[in-house]
Amino acid sequence: MEAVEPFMDEWGPEKVMVVWDPKTKMKGILVIDNTARGPGKGGIRLEPDVTTEEVLRLARAMTWKNALADIPFGGAKAGIKGDPKGNKDALVRAFARGLKGIVPSEYVAGPDMNMGEAEMGAFADEIGDMKACTGKPAEMGGLPHEFGSTGFGIAEATEVACRHAGIDLNGAKVAIEGYGNVGTFTHKFLAAKGATIVAVSDSHGMIFNVKGLDYGKLLNTKWKQGSVSKYRDGKALPVEALFSQDVDILIPGARPDVINGTNIGAVKAKIIVEAANIPIKEEFERKLQKKGVLIVPDIIANAGGVISSSAEFVGKDEEEMFRAVRKKITANVDTVLINSRRDSVTTRDAAMQIAKERVRNAMKYRGRV
């Protein structure tokens, strides 16, 4: 209880659950932050070191993200503490069994780190309801994140940010942290817009080539050799070197708090687009923005996944989903950047003003204020 109390405020959290399965030794954490706008929506991440604090912070971020995307979901998040290389199916099914009483009425799951369409299929099957989660295989009526909705949204957000910053995206130099689902599709869609991806990292290392990294070849290297650092046509560097590269655009797309007090002074990028959830604490965002860095916060930049989830939940197809992601992401980023400049506030503060107003209004209708 002590770990949760610092996070309790007027917005939530409404429920914090720990699920334990003796047979599989699965420990799961679910935080339902706020359901004023609909059932709590947020992905499940599978990591050996996931913590309750991390899930609490991510659940709150989902409350704001879903409100900003203007979709009928509240905020939630879940984590399973386990080995991503172990029996994921057993862990996911054990977690689902522990949540049967509240899914999908209070919580709708989705994929996050080390989780994909196969795991979402298992989750829905175990619950016995296709509305239990989104990101399911297409064969189960889903719109899997393997379609690339989040990376597509990041590319759209980056294009809008470049217009505001007076940077030509065609030829702009980009560094991407993380080369899983989000990072790979971000690379693909930005390259299609003419950007030059010069640096990419994963958990094993980083690769750099000032002339650009070929998407197909890099993806093939990652699949076959397990790390982007094995890519032949480039210079392998330590993971942490990514954040100090001389690039126009920096895209943190993996873990929380990667730009912090130890490396903030080395950041040279003119634009940061937050593909990961909570990659920079607010105090460091403010410092970067005082230096003139344009930041597109996570709660608007990486909303492609939740917009896709909303499309899947109501039965839309892939084409309709991508249209919705483009429309919502470009409009939201443009509005937030305009409001930030007009009101002389940070981009996160501008985004939060919109999100809080939407959630507060929903809470009033439900008699929670």
- Catalytic sites, residue numbers: 77
- Joined tokens for residue 38: 């609909």
Q: ∠ CA(37), CA(40), CA(44), 5° rounding? A: 150
CA distance 155 to 161: 10
Q: Where are the alpha helices (DSSP H) in the chain?
A: 52-68, 88-99, 117-127, 149-165, 181-192, 215-225, 282-290, 298-301, 304-313, 318-343, 347-365
Q: Quote the CA–CA distance of 273 and 279 in Å, as a whole number.
A: 10
What type of residue is 315?
A: G
Whole-number Å distance between alpha carbons of 78 and 30: 4
How many Å from the N-terminal Cα to the C-terminal Cα in the chain? 24
How far apart CA 76 and CA 236 sit, in angstroms, is 38
Backbone angles phi, psi at 297, to 5 degrees: -65, 155
